Amino acid sequence: MPFVLDRPRSQEKVGESLMFIEDIKLTNYRNYSNLTMSFENKVNVILGENAQGKTNVMESIYVLAMAKSHRTSNDKDLIRWDEEYGKIEGRLQKRNGPLSLQLVISKKGKKAKSNHLEQPRLSQYIGNMNIVMFAPEDLNLVKGSPGIRRRFIDMEIGQVSAIYLYDLNQFNKILQQRNHYLKQLQTKKQHDKTMLEVYTSQLIEVASKIVVKRYEFLKLLQNWAEPIHHGISRGLETLKIQYNPSIDVSEDIELSKMVEVYEEKFAKIREREIERGVTLAGPHRDDLSFFVNGRDVQTFGSQGQQRTTALSLKLAEIELIQSEIGEYPILLLDDVLSELDDYRQSHLLNTIQGKVQTFVTTTSVEGINHETLKQAATYNVTEGEMTKLK
């Protein structure tokens, strides 16, 4: 059964690299007052010393796709110093023809346009352009905090399911209201628990949908990641992904049963939540575990195993998105090649060669001896100025 229920699956042949950015234009974005740059439908290498602006270009592509940064939660950071707004415009080629995207970021919020039509909700805008980002912080996917892993799941499902993104936004709003009310009960500013029951009921309805969707997604991710990991580890390792919910459920549970389990859980922890002034169960408390040959990689895995797991997950994302929407996503490799050893570098570059439009930022390509990079389009960034070298 296809994972995505809110979009038609494509019959496009696997392997056709159809989605790519033709050009991007930045206005008052980070350290760029104005930048217009065209890219090629292959590997694009962006060279530059640190703090010159190469990662800002990479980030702008990410923000154009996801309407948020992977580096900061404060949108004001994206606007050039002393300016009122920042703007990112991009022109894509997709299976169904050209597509223009525009995102304006101001102190009042964000406005998004797709083919010059303003989008009423960002959840309707996200998914027009699909990307997979692999940055040094993604190597912390395995050993980092649960929040990093939850963000990984939410960002990837959100790209292929507008319904999931909508449900997630609803959940976060209700969670905020419920936490606020719990805090008021904790400090005795409120005494009526009826309103808490209303918020709890609303939270359970959306939380159940989110967890069901996460289970479905992770099952698909497992199917793609396991053979990829097996290949990178030269057939020596088997990767298993495990979802760890904050309630006692499994992946086979039906939505109605999950609602019941949540209701029982919240009834049991209600007094503790009032005492603490915070919601103690829900998707915002869930986590992932990764097992290699039956051992928890976070606790017992070597750094090499942790990196292989992170790389396998990212390569699996590329294939999963292609299987869902019918075209490959755009790949962003932000200063990550230097973090991988020669073997993992080669595996990554062999996998994407001739298949995915890729952007690579690095201070130098010396020491990376691979045909993919020799044939790449190359750009240089110095003090917020970007020029094409070849």
Q: Which residues are annotated as a binding site for ATP?
A: 48-55
CB of 297 closer than 8 Å to CB of 205 = no
Alpha carbon distance 84, 186 (integer Å): 40
Q: Which residues contact 250 (CB under 8 A, 6 or more apart)?
A: none
User: Which residues contact residue 236 at a Cβ distance below 8 angstroms, ignoring those fewer than 6 apart?
Assistant: none
Q: Please tell me the distance from the alpha carbon of residue 225 to that of residue 241, in angstroms, as a whole number.
A: 9
Q: Binding site: which residues?
A: 48-55
Q: How far apart are CA 136 and CA 333, in angstroms?
A: 9
